[in-house]
Amino acid sequence: MRKRILAFVLAAALISSLLVTAAVAEEDGAPAEAAQSEESAPTENQSSETTAVTDGESTAGETEEPQQDAETEIPAPDPVGQLSFANLESRMRENNLTVLMLEESIASIDEIDFDKMQEDLRDQLNDIAKLQYVSIAYPEAAGGMTFDSLQSSYDALKEQFDDLKEGKIQDDYDAVVRQLRNTEDQMIKTAETIYINILELQNTDEQLQRSLAAMNRTVQEMELRYDLGQISALQLQQTESGRTQLKSNLETVEMNLDNLIVQMEVMIGAEQTGALKLGEIPDVTDEQIAAMDLEKDLAAAKEVSYALFDAQKTLNDAKETYEDAIDGKGISSYQRKSAEHTWKAAQYTYEAAVQSFELSFRTAFNAVTDQQQILKASQTALALQQDTYASMELKYQQGSISKNALQDAKDDLDDAQTAVDTARHNLFTAYRTYRWAVDRGLLNT
């Protein structure tokens, strides 16, 4: 696509310079007949390809944008300093500088008037035909331009005109729009991943905080036992070393958490404070999972996938190259065979892309149900831990266990709750990955 557009720009620049030369020649005394040749046919030495193009030729349609999914519910605005998952995409589309740049690029393509572009090309082709007439009938007025040099310019523009008339250029622009939309979707999907990673790091931070508090209790107990002569100095040092390692791990997690929060603030166009608060993600319901249909959803995903669209376009280009090679005159047998093998390789490449997409989609489908059963298992474990903690509370009230033992039981309960939260996040991630594939064809293959 870029090659076609670049060729068009260069050709247009060339024609502009040629027309200026012709105008100067007329002012210097070129015969009047040259100015009267607008409706004249080229001389018999001119190929039929350079015949003036009529205004009656049909034009191709304009580029159409992919339709966007309609929102059925509009979430409430986020309070200052907060971000909800429901508003993540809308805030990115409104404030993310890269997304805004991509939208302006799409808007610039939408402004292209292909009818006017075709009309301009037709005028330029007719102007070259006139210049060719001048170069033959009045060589001294042609300013050094020859019929052959003008013919090469004509051929380049004619190729552009034919591509435009047949809709090839429109298809190229449509492909660019789809690529830009796909880039936007990739960015938003990445932001969703960062959002969930922040929630998970917050869980990890809380878990490490509990572990550090438990380690502090252990160190305190070990120091007392050391003072009583029950343990060696080496045992105490080993325990303190474990606490130091926990502190280091906690600092690393908090540093990564701060970095991700600032990155999220940048992605939504907020001030970089590192203080952004994220809301929890919504639950994935059993009804949503039950509504998943592997074959139907796979067909929908393949229909809107940019990766498969691009693979198909590459295949079509390879086919066109192959057909040009076997139809070309003066092509040797080994060149034809080479073109044939290249075409077959392109077919295998496309089939491999489809196969890879289907495999990744099926994997994403299975991941949802797998994460669903993991969540249910973690919820069962949490219920058991709740019963255990209630029993430990009773024992503590009866004086049969220490406060530290009760606190350890509370930590186990909190860890079980964290495991449920992580399972919820993983299920939501798996389901969102699946929905991105179904709704917008976005799937890492």
Which pLDDT belongs to residue 204? 96
Ranges 28-37, 45-54, 57-66, 231-240, most confident: 231-240
Which pLDDT belongs to residue 230? 92
Percent of the chain with pLDDT over 90: 64
Which pLDDT belongs to residue 2? 44
CA–CA dist 63, 438 (Å, integer): 24
Which pLDDT belongs to residue 25? 36
> With 50 as the cut, is the pLDDT of residue 140 above it?
yes
Contacts of 102-107 with CB under 8 Å at 24 or more apart are: 102/180, 102/183, 102/184, 103/184, 105/180, 106/65, 106/177, 106/180, 106/181
Which value, to the nearest 10 degrees, does the dihedral of the CA atoms of residues 113, 117, 37, 156 take? -170
Per-residue pLDDT tens digits for 312-328: 999 998 888 888 787 76
Mean pLDDT throughout 269-277?
95
Could you tell me the two tokens for 197? 């990673």
Three-state SS at 82: strand
> With 90 as the cut, is the pLDDT of residue 366 above it?
yes
> With 50 as the cut, is the pLDDT of residue 69 above it?
no
Which pLDDT belongs to residue 72? 55
Structural domain spans, the chain: 1-30+97-166, 282-445
Could you tell me the two tokens for 351? 């089939």
The class that CATH gives domain 282-445 is mainly alpha
39-53, 158-172, 265-279: least confidently modelled range: 39-53
Locus of tokens 């990955």:
433
| Comparison of pLDDT for 41 and 367, the residue scoring more | 367
Q: How many CA atoms lie within 13 A of 284 on its CB side?
A: 26
Which pLDDT belongs to residue 146? 79
> With 50 as the cut, is the pLDDT of residue 256 above it?
yes
Q: How far is CA 330 from the centre of its chain?
A: 44
Mean pLDDT throughout 92-106?
96
> With 70 as the cut, is the pLDDT of residue 46 above it?
no
Strand partners, 15: none
Average pLDDT, the chain: 83
The per-residue DSSP string of 253-322 comes to HHHHHHHHHHHHHHHTT----S--EEPPPPPPPHHHHHT--HHHHHHHHHHH-HHHHHHHHHHHHHHHHH
How many CB atoms within 10 Å of residue 157? Answer: 23
pLDDT band with cut points at 50, 70 and 90 for residue 236? very high
User: CB of 442 within 8 A of CB of 309?
Assistant: no
For residue 133, give Cα distances in angstroms to 13, 28, 55, 433. Answer: 21, 18, 20, 63
Burial class (CB in 10 A: 0-12, 13-18, 19+), 120: middle
Which pLDDT belongs to residue 334? 77
User: CB of 85 within 8 A of CB of 281?
Assistant: yes
Q: What is the pTM of this model?
A: 0.77
Mean pLDDT throughout 394-401?
94
Could you tell me the two tokens for 68? 């966007």
Which pLDDT belongs to residue 141? 65
Mean pLDDT throughout 275-288?
96
pLDDT band with cut points at 50, 70 and 90 for residue 130? confident
> With 90 as the cut, is the pLDDT of residue 41 above it?
no
Three-state SS at 230: coil
Per-residue pLDDT tens digits for 323-356: 878 776 556 677 778 888 889 999 999 999 999 9
User: CB of 421 within 8 A of CB of 381?
Assistant: no
pLDDT band with cut points at 50, 70 and 90 for residue 22? very low
Percent of the chain with pLDDT over 70: 81
> With 80 as the cut, is the pLDDT of residue 70 above it?
no
Mean pLDDT throughout 15-29?
36
At a CB cut-off of 8 Å and minimum separation 6, what does 196 contact? 281, 425, 428, 429
> With 80 as the cut, is the pLDDT of residue 64 above it?
no
> With 60 as the cut, is the pLDDT of residue 173 above it?
yes
> With 50 as the cut, is the pLDDT of residue 60 above it?
no
| Comparison of pLDDT for 205 and 334, the residue scoring more | 205
CA–CA dist 358, 435 (Å, integer): 15
Query: Greatest CA span in the chain, whole angstroms?
Result: 120
The single-letter code of the amino acid at 43 is T
For residue 140, give Cα distances in angstroms to 18, 144, 278, 307, 410. Answer: 15, 8, 77, 56, 100
